[in-house]
Amino acid sequence: MRTIILASQSPRRRELLEQAGYIFKIIPSTVEETVTCNEPSEVVKELAMQKARDVFEKCSRDASDDGYTSAQLLVIGADTVVAADGNILGKPESVKHAKEMIHCLQGKTHYVHTGVAFVWADERTGLLRTHCFSESTAVSCYPMTEEEITAYVNTGECMDKAGAYGIQGRFGIFIRNITGDYNNVVGLPISAVYHQLIKCGLQ
């Protein structure tokens, strides 16, 4: 049985994996992220793979001390971005920045892209194997007044989230509709994760 490592400290991703019945450890990546592409769906795949590889390397070095071998490891990395009007919106750097992001989203449709990467070693050969995919969801928001934007940002729930909002939180009242996987917007397309693990022979 493989030891699953989630290379993310996101509480939303942790909760989704737990709800799906997975038993895993959390070891966040500390790699300095580097982006070489512009397409949002490719950016998240690139970043997810960097995180997964970073944690796999760390865990492989420490494997014997932790009671397992590197051949038993499966590291799952993930990264989520919000794209609006062709621009990628990461996590806000300030309250002012968060308000600017919400202004870009209100009354419009934007896209949430999550990249997921698997890194593991072949149990027979020991060779490193990887798999990566991305999921995209369209999210339409109602128009918002300046007062509504300020009130939402002042809740503080937006500051650690891509696009400066959490669909599972108070911002939910401003969501007109979504097309695609709701959990993808939360931070991890858990159903796609399950089926991709099957595809890779890891489930």
The full DSSP string for 21-40 is T--EEE-------------H
pLDDT, position 38:
87
The residue annotated as part of the active site, out of 54, 62, 65, 79, is 79
Q: What is the mean pLDDT of the chain?
A: 92
Nearest to 85 by CA among 97, 101, 65: 101
pLDDT, position 69:
66
Cα–Cα separations (whole angstroms), residue 153 to 92, 96, 149, 160: 11, 9, 6, 11
* pLDDT, tens only, 122-160: 877 778 999 999 999 999 999 999 999 999 999 999 998
Within the chain, which residues score under 50 in pLDDT?
none
Q: Is 34 in contact with 53 (CB distance < 8 Å)?
A: no
CATH number at 181 reads 3.90.950.10
Cα–Cα separations (whole angstroms), residue 1 to 23, 49, 52, 71: 11, 23, 19, 10
Predicted TM-score of the model (pTM): 0.90
| Paired strand residues for 88 | 83
pLDDT, position 59:
87
pLDDT, position 66:
57
Residue 79 annotated in active site: yes
| Number of structural domains in the chain | 1
Q: Is 56 in contact with 27 (CB distance < 8 Å)?
A: no
C-alpha–C-alpha distance, residues 81 and 94, integer Å: 17
Domain encompassing residue 94: 3-199
Angle at which helix 95-105 crosses helix 146-153, to 10 degrees, equals 130
